[in-house]
Amino acid sequence: MVRSYTDQQILKKIKGLPTFKGFPKGFYIIGIQSTEDAFNVFDDKLYLFQNTGAEFTQDINLQKFILVSSGTTNAGKNGLLKYSDYNPEGVAVVKTNEWYYDVWKYGKHKGRMEALVQVKPFLISRDGDKDQQIEEGVSRPVICGINFHANTYDMENEVIREIIGGWSLGCQVVNNTPKYVQIMSYVKHQKIVTYCLLKEF
């Protein structure tokens, strides 16, 4: 599991990224990917922050932590070992230490679950070596359904599952349903949502 950070540590890290342009208006999501990268396990963290300022800003002091949940920012067993069922080039790997501005909007994942669906490109590489570990390669901007969703279609389910299985082929997935419902209650009324993905630091 990813180590714990203070709000200031996270905010300073994401502000220091080369792709940082400013904190977006409203709510935004930050993923932190475990360096351990345990196979097929929800061992990452997903944070919800809010820019309390009226507009796009560079001011760290206007950023407010809302909540954090466990989850995954990379593929599970199905994607890593059965990628040829989905894409012969390998499973999608989202480039870390990047800002992805205005990348999601509210919608439905597979038409069944309220979610954030991809509307702008992520920087994606493909991992096809079937070694049970995610490796980043040469990335290119791609729209390929990298959504933000839960690991169940039952929003009343309070079981926190540890195994990813087929729930991520590159999607950013929350495995704590009550927290996912909370996150969606904040972001569903926002026209567009920005994401920042970090590697554990």
Helix (H) or strand (E) holding 12: helix 7-15
**Three-state secondary structure call for residue 72:** strand
Task: Report the pLDDT value the prediction gives residue 67, as an integer from 0 to 100.
Answer: 98
Q: Percent of the chain at pLDDT above 90? A: 89
pLDDT tens digits along 117-148:
999 999 999 998 888 989 999 999 999 999 99
3-state secondary structure 122-172: EEEEEECCCCCCCCCCCCEEECCCCCEEECCCCCCCCCCCCECCCCCCCCE
Residue 15: inside a domain = yes
Residue 78: inside a domain = yes
C-alpha–C-alpha distance, residues 139 and 49, integer Å: 27
Judging by beta carbons within 10 Å of its beta carbon (0-12, 13-18, 19+), is residue 158 exposed, middle or buried? exposed
Residue 123: inside a domain = yes
Residue 2: inside a domain = no
CA 71 to chain centre: 8
Task: Report the pLDDT value the prediction gives residue 200, as an integer from 0 to 100.
Answer: 98
Which of 114, 104, 118 is closest to 182 using CA atoms? 114
Residue 60: inside a domain = yes
φ, ψ of residue 150 in degrees (nearest 5): -90, 175
**Does the pTM exceed 0.85?**
yes
pLDDT tens digits along 79-91:
899 877 778 889 9
- Tally of structural domains, the chain: 1
- When mean pLDDT is compared across 81-85, 109-113, 133-137, 168-172, the lowest value belongs to 81-85
Average pLDDT over residues 170-183: 97
Residue 73: inside a domain = yes
Unique residue bearing structure tokens 């800002």: 99
Task: Report the pLDDT value the prediction gives residue 82, as an integer from 0 to 100.
Answer: 85
C-alpha–C-alpha distance, residues 135 and 157, integer Å: 32
**Residue 179 reports pLDDT greater than 90:** yes
Domain that holds residue 45: 7-199
Task: Report the pLDDT value the prediction gives residue 49, as an integer from 0 to 100.
Answer: 98
CA 20 to chain centre: 17
